Amino acid sequence: MAGMLGRLGRFSYRRRWLVVALWLLALGGAVLLATRSEGPVSTRATMPGIESQQAFDLIAQRFPGAAADGASATIVFVAPPGRPLTSAENTETVEAVLSTISGGPQVSRVVPPATGQSISADGSTGFASVSYEVPSSEVTEASRTELADAVEQARAAGLTAEMSGSALKAGTTMSATELAGVAIAAVVLVMTFGSLVAAGLPLLTAIIGVAISFLGVWAVAGPLGMAITSGMLALMLGLAVGIDYAMFVVSRFREERHGRDDAEQAAGRAVGTAGSAVAFAGTTVVIALAGLSVVGIPSLAKMGLAAAGAVVVAVLVALTLVPALLGFAPDRVLSRAQRRGAALGDPRRPVARPWMRLVLRRPLLITLAGVALLAAVAVPALSLQLGTPGDASLPATETQRRAYDLRASAFGPGFNGPLTVVVDARGAADPQAAVATVAGSLRATSGVVSVSKAAFNQPGDTAVLTAVPSTGPTDERTEELVETLRSARPGVEAAGDVRYEITGTTALDIDMARKTQSALVPYVAIVIGLAVLLLLVVFRSVWVPVKAALGFLLSLFAALGVIVAVFQWGWAADVLGVEQTGPVMSLMPILLVGIVFGLAMDYEVFLVSRMREAHAHGRPAHEAIVTGFGQSSKVVVAAAVIMIAVFGGFAAADEPLIKMVGLGLACAVFFDAFVVRLTLVPAVLQLLGERAWWLPRWLDRMLPHVDVEGSSLEGPQPEPEPEQAHELSVR
């Protein structure tokens, strides 16, 4: 592995013009494909194998056109006090407003409040439904402007008017806060390397790589049915790992240049050693992300594959483009101190030395304290409640949120999340009577406020009912109501000789949350099992992979604890712009597992590979910890700070899932890098001693031998002074 990558690094260094031209050609091709693509689509998440999805498919089959993926909008009107919405003046205003919309080129149907029987009992509030012929991704800006102008027309006439629906969503955009993460990364790189060229190179290569991957996702989003969240996740993860992977190669190149005149050989050794760690770390990330495909959620699988593609591009950039660009400025990436002959990677640095001394002299105490800290932070995760936050989670400044609140106030909280009941009466002698039996059972159930009149299909053998709960769509009592209705189904179906299923947005969210929870443990087991096997090959040790997996679980549950505390309990919610607490996104835990595990293995490989490298070159176990920590800790800290800055910037996104993922990843990186990898890992290795590198002989013979330490590369290894490592080792 190291020899092959070393040759690749030297080739890229020598043929730098060719390598740069190929990457620029790839970037140009991605731009061309993206400009000709329709871009991401706006589709609702589907999940085969759950009742609500099966019921939705039945509606599409029995009611052709009813389940079309056309965009929709709802306009809520509230009359001034003392003047009901049904008064002649207000009725005229509403009709005038809706007439301006109905003539739109993309509008297929407009249902006024009176026609749709959607006026509150006191007559003060009503809403109109607007249906479009095209999906939300194809709704033009002109149509959205027309909708907004109609709402302003109603407001000018004295009515309170707000709107919601899929037709309003124009997509997710980058904010200044998200871009600030890149600026912070630039500052950290300058402080780490002491050279503007060395700091700018990882940023430049990461931006090129993430541009190719993001544009690539954009190009295939339409044909593959990907949402904008897939591209945003690829952008977020590709940018973070792209900077880190390039930084590790540049850092190792600077070490190899110390005392050497041959920059090409230094580039080869940097790619052969640090590049091997990058390749294996990237492989673990790809395994974790691609593993999302086995969960059974198409939208989640697409997000995982998009992010995995971005990681693959980041690895290839680090292994080829980075050494190529180093060839253009082999000396300018060095700091002034290094040009004067000062050593790099010395563990006597003021930050590394006191911390190593504390950790290695009190390993048991440090281990217990670190585990206790992460366990305490993880406590809120025990109260994790999954769901799909909707308009209620938006800021009060958004019209969708205000429309949600107006409807809840006038019609009840359950009106924003009605249940759709599909009754299949094909086997009934009297379909009308059979459907009436189901409707009567629904009305008699505690927690159901109202049941609509049955709407039959053309053959008259299938009907759709709407049941409005007394509680909101994210309320736990609504989930209990759905369970109650389904548990009472056998008796109702036997009495009416029918079968029925419950669907709708609320039921679909509930079913998705349950399936996600049931898939979480098997997914974690698969991902950890594959990564443990990979780490066995890399480190030739039984305990190092086990320790890495346990450390990941601690980081994961601590990050989930923060997510629950902020988004579910409301702690520090105002700081992040979370105005409405509620359940955590159903996809969040399993998506967090896939990403965090890969990133956790990144730091494990980067840190422990240097310790393994020192041990493979003859260092005792205690000194190998000191040597590896001294050589890699500064770069690992910088990499972690960069990732925290990038992910933390995405916590300011408008998209709820991206906001949660951004905060979760920032917290997970902090816990994993600073508490687990830089604290617990050296402490546990110190407790294990030489046993840390134990591997049964029979297993050693079975596993393939991969040269990650660079033993096949020529030239001596740069090492810190032996007396310093001896001083810091625990005698």
Q: Are residues 534 and 648 located together in one domain of the fold?
A: yes
Q: Following DSSP, what letter does each residue of 143-163 receive, concatenated?
A: HHHHHHHHHHHHHHTT-EEEE
Please enumerate in sequence order all residues whose Cβ is within 8 A of that of 605, keeping only pairs 6 or more positions apart, or say none: 277, 280, 281, 284, 535, 538
Question: Over the stretch 312-369, which tens digit does the pLDDT of each residue have?
Answer: 999 999 999 999 999 998 888 887 766 665 544 444 444 567 888 888 899 999 999 9
Q: Does residue 30 belong to any structural domain of this protein?
A: yes
Q: Hey, how many other C-beta atoms are within 10 angstroms of the C-beta on 475?
A: 19
Stronger pLDDT, 206 or 597, i.e. the higher one: 206
- Same domain assignment for residues 212 and 118: no
Q: What is the pLDDT of residue 710?
A: 60
**Is 717 within the bounds of a domain?**
no
Residues in Cβ contact with 281 at an 8 Å cutoff, skipping those fewer than 6 apart? 245, 598, 601, 602, 605, 606
CA angle 205, 207, 213 (to 5 degrees): 105
| Rounded CA Rg of the chain | 30
Domain end: 168, 191, 209, which one? 168
Q: Residues 557, 459: one domain?
A: no
Final residue before a domain boundary, out of 305, 320, 340: 340
Note whether residue 474 is domain-resident: yes
Which pLDDT score, from 0 to 100, does residue 519 have? 83
Percent of the chain with pLDDT over 70: 89
The DSSP 8-state label assigned to residue 119 in this structure reads B
Enumerate residues 6+ apart whose C-beta is below 8 A from 212: 23, 26, 27, 30, 313
The answer to whether the beta carbons of residues 380 and 373 sit under 8 Å apart is no
Contact 390, 153 (CB under 8 A): no
222/366 same-domain check: no
What is the average pLDDT value for the chain, to the nearest integer?
84
Domain boundary among 316, 340, 364: 340
Q: Is the pLDDT of residue 44 over 60?
A: no
Could you tell me where the beta strands, DSSP code E, fall in 33-91? 72-78
- Per-residue pLDDT tens digits for 62-99: 887 654 567 889 999 999 988 899 899 999 999 999 99
Mean pLDDT of 438-467: 91
* Alpha helices, H only, 389-448: 399-411, 431-443
Measured distance CA(204)–CA(139) in Å, rounded:
36
Closest among 614, 552, 639 to 245, alpha carbons compared? 639
DSSP sequence for 609-636: HHHHHHHHTT--HHHHHHHHHHHHHHHH
**What's the whole-number mean pLDDT along residues 288-295?**
81
Give the angle subtended at the CA of 41 by the CAs of 39 and 42, to the nearest 5°. 145
CB-CB neighbours of 36 under 10 Å: 8
Note the pLDDT tens digit of each residue in 190-219. Answer: 887 777 888 889 999 999 999 999 999 888
Is 561 within the bounds of a domain? yes
How many domains in the chain? Answer: 4
In a domain, 624, yes or no: yes
Residue with tokens 């769509």: 473
pLDDT over threshold 80, residue 149: yes
In a shared domain, residues 588 and 624: yes
185 shares a domain with 109: no
pLDDT surpassing 90 at residue 442: yes
- 3-state SS, 463-513, equals EEEEEEECCCCCCHHHHHHHHHHHHCHHHHHHHHCCEEEEECHHHHHHHHH
- Domain range for 683: 349-383+518-703
CATH of the domain at 271: 1.20.1640.10
Q: Compute the distance between CA of residue 577 and CA of residue 662 in angstroms, rounded to an integer.
A: 13
Q: Is there a domain that residue 721 lies in?
A: no
Q: Distance between CA 626 and CA 403 in Å, rounded?
A: 60
One domain for residues 354 and 333: no
Strand partners, 498: none
CATH assignment at residue 119: 3.30.70.100
pLDDT of residue 6: 87
Residue 323 and residue 222 in one domain = yes
∠ CA 502-567-48, rounded to 5°: 30
Crossing angle, helix 543-563 and helix 588-616, to 10 degrees? 150
Cα separation of 706 and 276, whole Å?
10
Give ∠ CA 415-89-152 in degrees, rounded to 5. 65
Cβ neighbours for 361, distance < 8 A, ≥ 6 positions apart: 730
Residues 222 and 327 in one domain: yes
For residues 326 and 198, state if they share a domain: yes
Query: How many residues appear in the chain?
Result: 731
Query: Residue 478 — pLDDT band, cuts 50, 70, 90?
Result: very high
Contact 653, 232 (CB under 8 A): yes
* Dihedral angle over CA of 435, 437, 443, 445, nearest 10: -120
- Domain CATH for 463: 3.30.70.360
Give the pLDDT score at 667. 92
Look at residue 146 and tell me if it is in a domain: yes
Cα atoms found within 13 Å of the Cα of residue 655, Cβ hemisphere only: 23
- Which of 296, 250, 262, 343 lies closest to 642 in space, CA to CA? 250
**Both 448 and 499 in a single domain?**
yes
Beta strands in 86-124 (DSSP E): 107-111
Read off the pLDDT of residues 150-161 as tens digits, 9 standing for 90 and up. 999 999 999 999
Please check whether residue 413 lies inside any domain of the structure.
no
- By C-alpha distance, which of 8, 535, 34 is closest to 317? 8
Q: Are 1 and 279 in contact (CB under 8 A)?
A: yes
The pTM score is 0.77
Examine the domain organization and report whether 362 and 439 are in the same domain. no
Query: What's at 696, amino acid-wise?
Result: P
Instruction: Using alpha carbons, select from 245, 243, 241 the residue that is nearest to residue 233.
Output: 241
